[in-house]
Amino acid sequence: MIAAVVGFGGGMLLIAFLPSFLAPSLIIPTHGLVQLASNSSRMLFSINKVRWGLLPRFLIGSVLGSLVIGYGLSHISMDYVPLGIGFYILLNLWNPRFSQAVSRYENYYLIGFLQTGLGLVIGAPGPLALTVLTKQLKCKDEIIATSSLFMSISHLAKIPVYLVLSSELLTDVPVIVIMVIGAVVGSYIGTKLRFKANNAALVKIIKILLTLLALRMIVEVLL
């Protein structure tokens, strides 16, 4: 529900609770499946707000990212990737000169490549697409609906990998089904709440929460 209102955040809450209920080997794959349900339902409940014209570029980048990063970087330490992502988000949101400079190279091929590819290796590389969409789109519903579509693709790419690495995943199907139902219901309620929210205020809230997320990523790496 929280993610449906502001665009993200629910996944971080979810993964904080999962260790209390699941075996360690099942935390990441279960999280990915439930997040796929959360993001795809959030997108479907706002499907008329999705900017479909951005999809082909992101999708091509996602496929390439899955192949290249999943194959080439799976054996390399990625401990410091969140540090770079955190600084990128902060500078992109709050430094006009940096934002203007990177906008020449910022495109959805690259965002898809990084968000989906790095997601296979480090789990959640942060809402990179949401950062760019917040700059380029002015409507909160278009931002969140399109970001949900992109994140659905990123989580969908993880499923084949999870099924290969975690054959135990299918043993917890009842738990996953219950969580998926909860995610869909939460998406429905949150979408209804978001449609009633003030557009300008919610975009500001998204920027503030993205800033807090970026700071958290930086601090966790440094500490």
Q: Which two tokens stand for residue 104?
A: 């020449």
Give the start-to-end residue ranges of the domains of the chain. Answer: 2-222
Task: Say which residue, 82 or 152, is predicted with more confidence.
Answer: 152
Q: What is the spatial distance between Cα 25 and Cα 43, in angstroms, rounded to a whole number?
A: 29
pLDDT the model gives residue 56: 94
What one-character-per-residue DSSP string does 128-157 give? HHHHHHHHH---HHHHHHHHHHHHHHHHHT
Q: Which two tokens stand for residue 18?
A: 């999962």
Alpha carbon of 33 to those of 45, 165, 169: distances in Å?
Answer: 18, 14, 10
pLDDT digits (tens, 9 = 90+) for 85-94: 788 888 878 8
Lowest-pLDDT range of 34-43, 59-68, 127-136, 184-193: 127-136
Alpha-carbon Rg for the chain, nearest whole angstrom, is: 17
- Confidence tier at 96 by pLDDT (50, 70, 90): confident
18 in Cβ contact with 183 (< 8 Å): no
- Confidence tier at 109 by pLDDT (50, 70, 90): very high
What number is the average pLDDT over the span 173-202? 86
Q: What is the spatial distance between Cα 167 and Cα 47, in angstroms, rounded to a whole number?
A: 33
Q: What is the spatial distance between Cα 131 and Cα 33, in angstroms, rounded to a whole number?
A: 23
What number is the average pLDDT over the span 26-38? 81
Q: What is the spatial distance between Cα 2 and Cα 194, in angstroms, rounded to a whole number?
A: 10
pLDDT digits (tens, 9 = 90+) for 112-138: 998 888 777 666 665 778 888 888 888
Reference 118, options 90, 154, 86; nearest CA is 154
3-class SS at 37? helix
Task: Supply the pTM of this predicted model.
Answer: 0.76
3-class SS at 23? coil
> Which residues are CB-neighbours of 52 under 8 A, at least 6 positions away?
none
83 in Cβ contact with 222 (< 8 Å): yes
- Confidence tier at 78 by pLDDT (50, 70, 90): low
Q: What is the spatial distance between Cα 23 and Cα 179, in angstroms, rounded to a whole number?
A: 16
DSSP 167: G
pLDDT the model gives residue 55: 93
